[in-house]
Structure 1
Amino acid sequence: MFTKTDIEKFFIAEKQISLLFIIISIAAIVVAAMCWFVWSTQFCKGVALSLFVMAIVQLSISVDIYLNSNKNRINVVYAFDMNPNELKLKELPRIEKQAKKIVALTFVSTALLVIGAALFFYSLNKTDKQFLAGIGAAMIVFSIIVLSIHFFSQKRVSTYKQQLREFVKR
C-alpha cells in the first residue's frame, strides 16, 4: 500500500543522492584543479580537462534536483491527502519522465565509459598521446562512479513509479 511515508522516503533518498553527487562533483573539480596546476603532466592535464567538464555537468544536474526536491515532496504529500487525482495528472508523468532521464543518463555514462576506455588503451603506451590517456582515464573513473549511483537511483525510481501507478488505479 502506497503511503505518505513512501513519498517521504523517495524524496529524502532523492535529495541524499543528489547531495552525494554534489559532493563527488566538487571533489572532482578540486582534483581536476590539482591535476592541472600542481602535477601538470600531459596525462594529468588530460585528467583535469575531462574531470572538470564531467563534474560541472553532473554538478548542474545535481544542484537542480537538490533544490527542487523539498518543493516536490511537499506538493506530492499535499496532493496525496487533498487531491489524489493530481498524482495521476502531474506526479506520475513527472516520475515517468525522470525514469527516462535516468535511462538516458545511464546510456550516456556507458558511452563515456566505452569511449574513455578506447582513448585510454589506445594512447596508454604512446608518449605523445598521454593527454588523451588522461582524458580516457578520467572518463572511465567518473563514468563508473555515475553508473554505480544510477543503478540504485533507477531501482528506487522504478519502485516509486510502480507504487504510484497502483495508487492512481484505485
Structure 2
Amino acid sequence: MDPIVKYFNAEKAESLLFMGFGVFAIILSVYFFFFMKESFWKGLAIPLVFFSIIQIVIGTTIFMRSPIDNLRVETILKNEPHKIQSEEIPRMEKVIKNFVYYRYFEISMIFLGIILMYALSSYGFWKGFGLGLFIQCTVLLSLDFFAEKRGHFYIEHLKELVEKK
C-alpha cells in the first residue's frame, strides 16, 4: 500500500478511536453523574465529559479531513511535486511541533490528576476528579504518541520523495 494512503487511513482509523473513547466516556460519565450517589463519581464524571467532548471534536475533524488531505497530497504529487517540499512537509512539521505542546499539557494534567487523587484523597469529589483527569489524559497521551510517531514516518517518506525528484 502507498505510504501516503497508509498514513491517512491510519489517521482516519485513529480518529475513530478518539470518537469511540469519547462516546464511551460520555455514556459512562452520565451513568456516574446521575445514578451513582457518592461525590467521587460526580467528580469523576466532570473531566470525563469535558475531555470526551474534545476527543469527539478532534476525532470528527480528523475523520472528515483525512480523505481531503489524502486527495490534496496525491494531487500535489501528480501535478506539482515541488510543493511537497514547500507546503506538505512544513505543514507536517508544524503538526509534529504541536504534539510536543499537547504532550506537555497532557502530562501536566496527569500529574494534576495524581496530586488530586492523593493530596485530597479524603475528599471524594476531588479524588474522583483527579482520577478522571488521569484516565482521560493518559488515553489522549497514548493516542497522541502513536499519531506523532506515524507523523514522523510520513515526513520521512515525503523527504525521500523530494530527494528522488
Quick one: percent identity of the two aligned structures?
29
Q: Distance in 2 between matches of 1:41 and 1:168?
A: 59
TM-score for both structures, normalised by structure 1: 0.91
SS of 2:2 mapped into structure 1: helix
What's 2:35 paired with? 38
Alignment of 1:1-170 (within 5 A): 5-124=2-121, 126=122, 129-169=123-163, 170=165
Count of paired positions: 164
- By how many angstroms is 1:32 displaced? 0.9
- By how many angstroms is 1:78 displaced? 1.3
Is residue 21–residue 55 contact of structure 2 (8 Å, CA) maintained in 1? no
Amino acid at match of 1:58: Q
| Deviates further, 18-27 or 90-99 | 90-99
Amino acid at match of 2:20: I
Gaps in structure 2 of 5+ consecutive residues: none
- By how many angstroms is 1:165 displaced? 2.1
Amino acid at match of 1:141: I
Root-mean-square deviation (Å) = 1.3
TM-score for both structures, normalised by structure 2: 0.94
Amino acid at match of 2:98: K
Amino acid at match of 1:43: F
- By how many angstroms is 1:149 displaced? 1.6
Q: Distance in 2 between matches of 1:102 and 1:93?
A: 14
Gaps in structure 1 of 5+ consecutive residues: none
| Deviates further, 16-25 or 149-158 | 149-158
Amino acid at match of 1:42: S
Q: Which runs of 4+ in 1 moved over 4 A?
A: none
Q: Distance in 2 between matches of 1:32 and 1:17?
A: 22
Q: Distance in 2 between matches of 1:55 and 1:36?
A: 15
- By how many angstroms is 1:157 displaced? 0.5
